[in-house]
Structure 1
């Protein structure tokens, strides 16, 4: 690869003992928590913190992101030692902004979901039918809080299954703290932003991670070259907020879409694959007859 952070080979993680396929999931609590109580109490220390954030140059135009309870969540994360100082934005989007921050252990990424501006309808497509969120109702705050906690839980489960994802560090209300991917100079680059020297090896790693997710009962739901990045010679899967369990009524449609997106990207890089082949590999449906797929561990022959 031409990117300075990339290498021609990518290492696969060794999976931990993953949960069984299709395990039931714990219910995620969306009731008021300490961040809401901090925002309601508004004591002197919180008000000082609030003013410091509101006056910071990087946050001055972020009123739609930093409502009172979100500031309460950030304040609680500072109190707990997960955030020591804030940097500038790494990315901005319709549903969330991601900021660089410092912690006692180094740099972290802080993802802040908007309560007021989030795309409520697109979130419901993934939440409805997920057994972790039955009965959540239509309260926008609860939906966004559920979404944030869902992403944290999905990252934990993916990591246990041996999928390289940003390490989830802490979650508070609509704020997620996770591993920062990049260097002091810049964030990690997405697959669509780098020149891939060995597309077949990269493809084999991505599809193996897709299979591990599926075997752990998860489907990413929005996987493409735009949310896989290169970091320290590894491919890292991002944005698991919308990932659903295999209990979701539309999980198959999401899985087929992921396979089409990933296969189409790598086919453009010269890899002989298509969505049906990738689906057979990820789901295991082609294992009985070989599925027409490449051996995922024949990287030495693919050079």
Structure 2
């Protein structure tokens, strides 16, 4: 088996453009490359309204971009973007989140959390937690009462979303209706076959992951804590239903599968979608044909959870 045609074409184009592995760039160069790549995909579709909010996280102000759908929102979703905790921004993910809103009919809050290496673990996590609390408090005023609240993210953002779901369970609030984890980072050790499989070293390699971990967690305390490595959590019981995406050609494949199985063994309803012919990043990359299918998977998953709520104003 090999990657599908659209993914192969994307990789060939990146190679022709001279794109190097992430770990061969500086963090600043990585951020610029990520933004350039995101801009090349164009703007997303129109949504009913986009609002810029400011959330207090410790001594910092963090941007939260709210995307509101046409019609009545079925719920509200906090999205934590990917990028190895080093790259990505609300601007970089704007087009993807617009597609997510149009596809699902859910409102989405996209948190522009602070990035490593300037802001290492646990700063990105605490920013996302502050954004989640802000949404839980303000969503009823913005969109009406009784809205379901979901956490979601891809890659490093999937890591953050998984931790948010567990923290909310442990503290008893806010109530999280579901979690959506796209090829999440859930541990830091080199213990899985996909991490060393040459076929899995494509857009993202294990060398890249090692580099990202060093930038995100230079003190190495996050790697030994479930707040940094969700797979280390002793008890996964009582967590919200999970949609977990994995990709066949991804160094994170096996740890994502392991986490999905751990959730299921703990009694958590799990919907695991393994895209066997695709690579890391397929959910958010519009040139990849699987991104359309993945959004359909998200819509179908959320349709079992959300309920329409009246919009005020």
Greater Rg by CA: 1
The alignment's TM-score, normalised by the length of structure 2, stands at 0.28
